[in-house]
Structure 1
Amino acid sequence: MDPYSIIIKPHLTEKSMNAIDQKNELTFAVLRTARKSEIKNAFEDLYAVKVERVNTQVTSKGVKIAYIKLAAEHSAEDIAVKMGVF
């Protein structure tokens, strides 16, 4: 499956902005049917980083959110800057 069809867009809230600095974690809206392993592989392909873990949740509006924690050698802040979040 195409990585661009799995990872839809960044999910930016105050909580997710704090997680970038404090937890080295990025938050994205993802395809509702995507599994954690598919999200991990898609993110690693798109951004050439190592993902430590992926947690997901479905919001009350029906949007699936993925919390992607990066390995220690990669910076979530650097990726956020490349995406234009800051």
Structure 2
Amino acid sequence: MDYTDILIQPIVTEKSTEMKDAHNQVTFLVSKSANKIEVKQAVEKAFDVSVDNVNISRQKPRLRKRFGRTMGTKPGYKKAIIRLAPGDKIEYFEGV
């Protein structure tokens, strides 16, 4: 798998921005079939940084309910929280 198949998109939320500033951690939405080793290699190849640690969590699909009825499902996803080595950083919005 190429790194573009593994890393889908960065997750930019208030919590992930705080983790980026305080703990040098970035969060990505990753492929459901990717493991920690593949994610680490993909980030190192894509952004030319060194990765210290990778944590992966998986969100299962949930039912969408409205007025007690099931209206469909919210899709599940897999996200990776990546701790970068001291001195390395990834900038999402450099020119904004």
If the TM-score is normalised by the length of the shorter chain, which range does it land in? 0.7 to 0.9
**Partner of 2:12: helix, strand, or coil?**
coil
- Structure 1 counterpart of 2:78, from 59, 64, 74: 64
Q: Point out where structure 1 has 5 or more consecutive residues left out of the alignment.
A: none
The residue aligned with 1:52 is: 52
TM-score, with normalisation over the residues of structure 2?
Answer: 0.78
Aligned length: 81
**Partner of 1:66: helix, strand, or coil?**
strand
Provide the rounded CA distance (Å) in 1 between the counterparts of 2:59 and 2:14: 16
Range 60-69 or range 45-54, more displaced: 60-69
Cα shift readout 1:48-74 (whole Å, capped 9, x = no counterpart):
000000001012441101001000121
Of Structure 1 and Structure 2, the greater strand share is in: 2
Question: Computing the radius of gyration over CA atoms, which structure comes out larger, 1 or 2?
Answer: 2
The residue aligned with 2:93 is: 84
**Runs of at least 4 residues off by over 4 Å:** none
Provide the rounded CA distance (Å) in 2 between the counterparts of 1:36 and 1:22: 23
Deviation at 1:14, TM superposition (A): 1.1
Cα shift readout 1:26-59 (whole Å, capped 9, x = no counterpart):
0000001100000000000000000000001012
Q: Point out where structure 2 has 5 or more consecutive residues left out of the alignment.
A: 62-75
Provide the rounded CA distance (Å) in 2 between the counterparts of 1:67 and 1:34: 13
Counterparts of 1:23-42 in structure 2, within 5 Å, are 23-42=23-42
